[in-house]
Amino acid sequence: MRRKHFCLIILGLLITLSACLPAKKISTTQIPLQLGESQVDLILHESSAEGLTYLNLHDNENTSVRAALGIIKQHGGQVFELKHSGTRNISFMLDGTEYVFDPNRMFSDDGANASLDRFGPVSDSAITAVRSFAETVLDQIQVNELDILVTLHNNDGSGGYSVLSFSPGEKYSTDASQTNINDELDPDDFYYVTDSGIFNDLMNADQNVVLQDNDYVTEDGSLSVWSAQEQLPYVNVEVQDGHRRIQMRMILLLHNYYFLNQDH
């Protein structure tokens, strides 16, 4: 049996065995955050046991939240999710004007400016409001206390954004320094990381994984770029919408990598 087959079987066994573990107590807290004249809620789901911190930025990517909740119930950790309108982008009112932006483009001034401009009006006061909101989110998740930042995303499965998008000559090829592609896995299900050690471990586990080129990646205000600038290891667990069990397996693999193999 080839090694990649063995790895996939082990991942399946891990998720099956985890269901036999006693469930941890989960508490849920609503944290209201001010954004201009509007309110956006940051929801914290927290296990009674220690684990990784997971962040969901897009309110329409709910498969990822359900997958992470399934993991922290068995293995511990906490999940933060932004809740507002059920859509990807956030809209808010400021001085009588409605502004719209992508919350994964709010972690730099240039990113916030470009995102606001893409979806509607932009102003200095709106950029300031978005950047203040981004800093508040980072403060709430206590990013300065984290050894690794894990975000959770879903794509639509159309192929427009997959591990193949980072191959030579493809749309995002210049943002990646290395990729590992397992042809037996769905290309829409992959990890995007900023740390070469994490990349090597996931590559050795025959996972679809992209290593960001931290020197030449496009500065678009995304959290992966911010994390690289802050030298905080970052992992995005990205899967096709609806692939909940696959995302659970991928999160669990990351959890085990961190807690079994790392000094922290």
Q: Is 92 exposed, middle or buried (0-12, 13-18, 19+ CB in 10 A)?
A: buried
Region 220-232 average pLDDT:
98
- Count of CA atoms in the C-beta half-sphere (13 A) of 18: 25
Instruction: Please list, in sequence order, all residues whose beta carbon lies within 8 angstroms of the beta carbon of residue 213, skipping any fewer than 6 positions away.
Output: 174, 175, 176, 177
What pLDDT score was predicted for residue 2? 40
Residue 229 above 70 pLDDT? yes
Q: Indicate the pLDDT class of residue 190, thresholds 50, 70 and 90.
A: very high
Q: What percent of the chain has pLDDT over 90?
A: 87
Q: Indicate the pLDDT class of residue 14, thresholds 50, 70 and 90.
A: low
Q: Per residue in 82-110, pLDDT tens?
A: 999 999 999 999 999 999 999 999 999 99
The encoded tokens of residue 208 equal 């679809």
pTM, to two decimals: 0.91
Q: Indicate the pLDDT class of residue 3, thresholds 50, 70 and 90.
A: very low
What Å distances lie between residue 79 and 44, 53, 143, 199, CA to CA? 6, 6, 13, 23
Q: What are phi and psi of 17, to 5 degrees?
A: -65, -35
Cα distance between residue 65 and residue 54, in whole Å? 9
| Domain boundaries, given as residue ranges, for the chain | 3-13+24-32+42-84+145-261
Q: Per residue in 128-186, pLDDT tens?
A: 999 999 999 999 999 999 999 999 999 999 989 999 999 999 999 999 999 999 999 99
What is the pLDDT of the chain when averaged over all its residues? 92
